[in-house]
């Protein structure tokens, strides 16, 4: 959120959401919501904070708390990605961009494939900060086409 705030400058708005409480930001244009992105009402709160207009960019680096039980962890990751996919028609403007973290697995790949279809172009990117051996990658999708949802 700090980096996004620096990118958009004082005239942009950054709305962040996390299950955990976030330290308050000094800038008025940075709004932190404590909530569950899987809750559809939270989507409405984000939209309200944006002043009713969908965002230019959606960034998601949410990740489930891993239990070590593979099926459970994959299901939790799938729920996060499904929630992001479900929120896009409300939260992202046509032509907007998405960057979403993916912890790879068959379920995640299925949602990834579906999300890609709603964008003009999409690719997988890796972060230098990702630990070696991690299944973490990012889907960078540009040019949202809401009608294809
Ligand atoms: C890798 S951390 C990133 C946190 C923060 N963006 C940062 O860069 O420090 C993943 C975050 O996803 C959050 N998270 C996991 N599931 C979530 C959910 N369903 N709704 C909202 N946040 C969630 C966790 O609380 C955790 O803080």
* Number of domain units in the chain: 1
The per-residue pLDDT for 34 is 96
Q: What single DSSP character describes residue 129?
A: T
Residues of the domain holding 100: 2-148
The per-residue pLDDT for 27 is 87
**Ligand 1 contact, 62 CB (< 6 A):** yes
> Of 101, 117, 121, 126, which is the active-site residue?
101
Q: What average pLDDT values come out for the chain (149 residues) when binned by 10 residues?
A: 93 96 90 95 95 96 94 95 96 98 94 97 95 94 87
101 catalytic per annotation = yes
Residue 63 to residues 18, 36, 79, 103, 145, Cα–Cα distance (Å): 10, 12, 10, 8, 25
For position 112, which CATH number holds? 3.40.50.150
């Amino acid at each position: 959120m700090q980096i996004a705030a620096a990118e958009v400058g004082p005239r942009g708005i950054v709305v962040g959401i996390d299950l955990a409480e976030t330290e308050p930001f000094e800038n008025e244009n940075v709004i932190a919501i404590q909530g569950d992105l899987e809750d559809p009402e939270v989507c409405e709160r984000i939209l309200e904070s944006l002043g009713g207009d969908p965002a230019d960019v959606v960034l998601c680096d949410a990740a489930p708390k891993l239990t070590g039980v593979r099926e459970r962890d994959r299901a939790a990751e799938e729920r996060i990605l499904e929630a992001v996919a479900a929120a896009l028609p409300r939260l992202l403007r046509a032509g907007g961009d998405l960057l979403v973290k993916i912890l790879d697995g068959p379920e995640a790949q299925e949602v990834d494939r579906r999300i890609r279809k709603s964008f003009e172009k999409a690719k997988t990117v890796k972060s230098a900060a990702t630990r070696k051996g991690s299944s973490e990658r990012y889907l960078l999708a540009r040019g949202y086409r809401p009608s294809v949802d």
